[in-house]
């Protein structure tokens, strides 16, 4: 765990639209065109046991997920993900990588408010054992996921809804059993609020945002479901660095999962106009 703490400290990463810079989901808004961001996602799961389901973890589990983010145009962005963890074995190992693409297809702006809709698709190639029925294209499963995001910003409050479909395929070195589900529906409802500052003075002023997110999945094949509640606090520094701290816990469900709670720490650093020529006379 020492090495992971160092990784968190070393981590630098980025952000885009304060109160809708959700910690556990993506907003319908995009990164600025020609910007690049680095996000270091850290997931820590405390020891957990679900005797009935035969799940016993006596040690904490940790996943490190560096994410390189690229604003291709005003409407499209791409994330490159790399996953490493000790979630499926005792040793910390590289698990695989994923590619996330988001396209904003509707944007209605007004003064200090907007309504946006976006579609996303993600694919991942993962080398892990297939042990649980929660399908997760963010490190556990090889597969694809696609969905729609709707986000409404009203001054300091932002609300967002996501609905998506997940199809998992055999992992690189492990195959699905017939009894294991390979499809899932995911949905989320997120709210974010700008707590500080009350009034902006300059770009160096730290911003503090708070979030409440509900995240659910339903597996139609096995009729399993869960709903998690994930509150989060977020600090934005120098208008380009972001530190997120979240806690996620299941509030209802019957799904065979790796854990029912998780701590999330994300560090993000944004470079706006990363490769845009600055024309000077």
Q: Name which of 17 and 88 has its Cβ closer to other proteins.
A: 17
Contact between 17 and other proteins (CB under 8 A)? yes
Nearest distance, CB of residue 252 and other proteins, angstroms? 33
Contact pick of 236, 255, 258, 264 for other proteins (by CB under 8 A): 236
Contact between 156 and other proteins (CB under 8 A)? yes
Contact region with other proteins (CB under 8 A), list: 40-48, 103-111, 217-225, 258-266: 103-111
For other proteins, the binding residues in 182-201 under the rule CB under 8 A are 194, 199-201
Q: Name which of 113 and 223 has its Cβ closer to other proteins.
A: 113
Contact pick of 3, 49, 73, 254 for other proteins (by CB under 8 A): 73
Nearest to 160 by CA among 12, 16, 13: 16
Separation in Å, CA 174 to CA 87, 171, 181, 221: 15, 5, 14, 20
Q: Which residues would be at the binding site for other proteins (CB under 8 A)?
A: 15-19, 21, 29-35, 73-74, 107-114, 153, 155-156, 194, 199-203, 205, 207, 236, 239-240, 242, 270, 272-273, 276-281
């Amino acid at each position: 765990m020492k090495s992971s703490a160092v990784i968190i400290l070393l981590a630098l990463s980025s952000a885009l639209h304060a109160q809708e810079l959700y910690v556990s989901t993506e907003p319908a808004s995009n990164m600025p065109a020609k910007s690049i961001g680095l996000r270091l996602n850290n997931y820590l799961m405390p020891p957990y046991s679900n005797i009935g389901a035969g799940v016993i973890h006596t040690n904490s589990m940790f996943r490190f997920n560096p994410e390189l983010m690229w604003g291709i145009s005003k409407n499209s962005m791409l994330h490159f993900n790399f996953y490493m963890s000790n979630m499926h074995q005792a040793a910390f190992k590289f698990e695989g990588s994923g590619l996330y693409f988001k396209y904003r297809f509707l944007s209605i702006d007004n003064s200090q408010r907007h309504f946006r809709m976006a579609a996303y698709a993600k694919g991942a190639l993962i080398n892990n054992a297939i042990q649980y029925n929660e399908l997760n294209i963010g490190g556990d499963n090889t597969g694809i996921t696609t969905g729609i995001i709707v986000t409404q910003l009203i001054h300091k409050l932002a609300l967002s809804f996501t609905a998506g479909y997940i199809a998992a395929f055999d992992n690189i070195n492990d195959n699905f059993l017939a009894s294991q589900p390979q499809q899932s529906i995911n949905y989320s409802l997120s709210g974010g609020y700008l707590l500080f500052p009350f009034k902006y003075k300059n770009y160096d002023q730290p911003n503090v945002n708070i979030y409440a997110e509900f995240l659910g999945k339903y597996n139609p094949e096995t009729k399993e479901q869960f709903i998690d509640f994930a509150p989060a606090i977020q600090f934005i520094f120098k208008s380009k660095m972001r530190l997120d701290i979240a806690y996620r816990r299941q509030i209802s469900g019957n799904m065979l999962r790796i854990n029912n709670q998780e701590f999330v720490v994300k560090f993000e650093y944004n470079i706006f106009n990363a490769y845009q020529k600055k024309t000077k006379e």
